[in-house]
Chain A
């Protein structure tokens, strides 16, 4: 058995140009999805068809970069065949692994394509080594992506009790809820990440200038209202301002992004196998910039973890790229909870 990977950099590829950006700037792996609701970034104009997938796999493999395909929504009875077909497509396209959330789909993949490497998606909501052991023993998963829920000591405890590779989110959009366990979007507008593959989808969003300021709505529900001197953000519904007991504030989470760069030495010490950069909906230029900075930082950490320091230029650049220009360590830092 080969040695476990350490801090592989896994970057988002929402399109062929984004894939090339990630590959050219030093990603160890890219992840992508097909053009339908079989993955959790089911956005118009995004993702891959048969032709771009073949081209993407070829491009990445030529440069030694792995390709991971996300099939991480939950198959539904009427369209189950679509997910099965997507697994078959992945197997024949030569991707290096598929990222799944649904146990039924894992059973299909294991039976039909036993050679295909399986990763457990963050949408599988596995936060303990007992849950990971379930997928390991039943389906032979080789990697699990942890929800953005655990503190670093809790991550350490998971790693100590499993031989499955552990992948963490490093940077990008921050889900405040446990992935795979959040129905807020379908409660508001009918479409949830689990079944539709998107949260707060664009078709339900309305922006409207009113006498009280710019209002953002999701299926008619007021998510936030901005004064003239405030920059209006996308109405992701957990990041709006609401009123509780007469007080109006970001009741669930601020419009902020995860940036765990300063934790790289700890993650190296813990043996975190891979770090995922969120953002398949972002531009190729964004992917290039973020990949470049994280590549540099990971290279420094791997060479000399003791002397690692976050460079102000990295942090400034990453902050600029972030939603609302705000960064957080999220649940990795316990007081966030």
Chain B
């Protein structure tokens, strides 16, 4: 597949779930042939997930870089212990690949080394002052908080030379906790979680007592049950000068998801066709409410409806 240099770039976000070593390696082996420009690698959710160590991730990174992918290593979002810090320092010190900083300790270490980085969505850059500060510290790209509406994004002054990457597809990362909710489901303590996340490659669905899928439990992370997708709003994304669209990995059909998005940004499919195709590939129903400034779970499949005007 050809790349169109003028089109928006696609990125494969960090894998938020815990899969077996074989499945993880196979996933990235396939990803090498997918039409994504950027691949984020590494464990950004839970320090207990150890089937791939930094050395393994670096090996995957080298392979992807060799086929022309831009590789970024994502740091852990919740740092609790000295060993978490040790892992963070090791990742930052490697220096071969760009790093996505997901908390300010990582920003601190990267800025000290004068290393350019990607400012992850959990850094809470909600205003131009904070964004300018991140640029000064070395951020070359930023991912807005996933709840940021289009009106707020448009009002952000993005520093020159800094790219905006939008979380455009996937279950929304909503919250982090010291507690592991997957372990809690099995009446296990986190320190003895028996790695139950491995049994749930797309997380565990939490329903309301009237059977509505509401959230997804993914270890210490809580995600939406619905799948955010902004494909039907491509024209708005172009108008907002988004440089990169982030697609968050799911266990099935990710190859097709990437292909459908690639066709969209290369004008080989309409936004409406893309929306219809994606809805068949999603592990849950769709939502786009955050982008419209509404509750995150709401959905307006018609791009000309919903929320305050773009």
A residues apposed to B, CB below 8 Å: 74-78, 80, 101-105, 107-108, 124-131, 133-135, 137, 148-151, 154, 157, 176-178, 180-184, 186-190, 192, 194-195, 219, 221-225, 241-245, 247-248, 251-253, 331, 334-337
B202 to chain A, nearest CB (A): 14
With both beta carbons as reference points, the residue of chain B lying nearest to A242 in the complex is identified as: B206
A137 CA / B187 CA spacing, docked (Å): 42
Given contacts A77-B127, A247-B185, 10 further A-B contacts (CB under 8 A): A80-B127, A104-B129, A130-B106, A131-B79, A134-B108, A148-B178, A182-B176, A187-B290, A187-B296, A242-B208
Residues of A within 8 A of B104 (CB): 103, 124-126, 131, 134-135
Inter-chain contact B77/A181, CB cutoff 8 Å: yes
A148 CA / B82 CA spacing, docked (Å): 17
Is B103 an interface position by the 8 A CB rule?
yes
**Which single member of A105, A187, A244, A337 contacts B185 (CB below 8 Å)?**
A244
Inter-chain contact B217/A244, CB cutoff 8 Å: yes
With both beta carbons as reference points, the residue of chain B lying nearest to A108 in the complex is identified as: B129
Interface string of B116-151 (1 = CB under 8 A from A): 000000101011111111000000000001110001
Residues of A within 8 A of B293 (CB): 190
A181 CA / B107 CA spacing, docked (Å): 17
Interface string of B192-208 (1 = CB under 8 A from A): 00000000000011111
Residues of B within 8 A of A103 (CB): 104, 130, 133
Inter-chain contact B222/A252, CB cutoff 8 Å: yes
Given A128-B84, A133-B108, are A194 and B145 also a contact pair (CB < 8 Å)?
Answer: yes
**Which single member of B105, B172, B214 contacts A242 (CB below 8 Å)?**
B214
What are 26 residue pairs bridging A and B, where the CB atoms are less than 8 Å apart in the complex? Answer: A77-B128, A102-B127, A124-B104, A125-B103, A130-B88, A130-B105, A131-B105, A133-B105, A150-B178, A176-B177, A178-B178, A180-B124, A186-B147, A187-B147, A188-B296, A189-B295, A194-B124, A195-B147, A242-B206, A242-B208, A242-B209, A243-B207, A244-B206, A245-B204, A335-B191, A337-B191
Inter-chain contact A251/B184, CB cutoff 8 Å: yes
Residues of B within 8 A of A74 (CB): 124, 126-127
Given A104-B130, A178-B177, A331-B179, are A190 and B294 also a contact pair (CB < 8 Å)?
Answer: yes
Inter-chain contact B130/A78, CB cutoff 8 Å: no
**Which single member of A176, A184, A248 contacts B215 (CB below 8 Å)?**
A184
With both beta carbons as reference points, the residue of chain A lying nearest to B84 in the complex is identified as: A128
Is B175 an interface position by the 8 A CB rule?
yes
Inter-chain contact A177/B133, CB cutoff 8 Å: no
Inter-chain contact B109/A130, CB cutoff 8 Å: yes
Residues of A within 8 A of B145 (CB): 183, 194
Inter-chain contact B206/A102, CB cutoff 8 Å: no
Is B281 an interface position by the 8 A CB rule?
no
B203 to chain A, nearest CB (A): 11
Is B174 an interface position by the 8 A CB rule?
yes
A180 CA / B175 CA spacing, docked (Å): 9
Inter-chain contact B80/A243, CB cutoff 8 Å: no
A80 CA / B127 CA spacing, docked (Å): 8
Counting chain B CB atoms within 10 Å of each CB, the highest count among A76, A77, A135, A253 belongs to A77
Q: Which 10 A-B pairs have the closest CB atoms?
A: A104-B129, A130-B105, A104-B130, A187-B296, A77-B155, A134-B108, A131-B105, A74-B126, A149-B178, A182-B175
A318 to chain B, nearest CB (A): 23
Is B302 an interface position by the 8 A CB rule?
no
Residues of B within 8 A of A188 (CB): 214, 295-297
**Which single member of B78, B178, B212 contacts A221 (CB below 8 Å)?**
B212
Given A104-B132, A177-B222, are A337 and B180 also a contact pair (CB < 8 Å)?
Answer: yes
Interface string of B83-96 (1 = CB under 8 A from A): 01100100000000
Inter-chain contact A128/B295, CB cutoff 8 Å: no
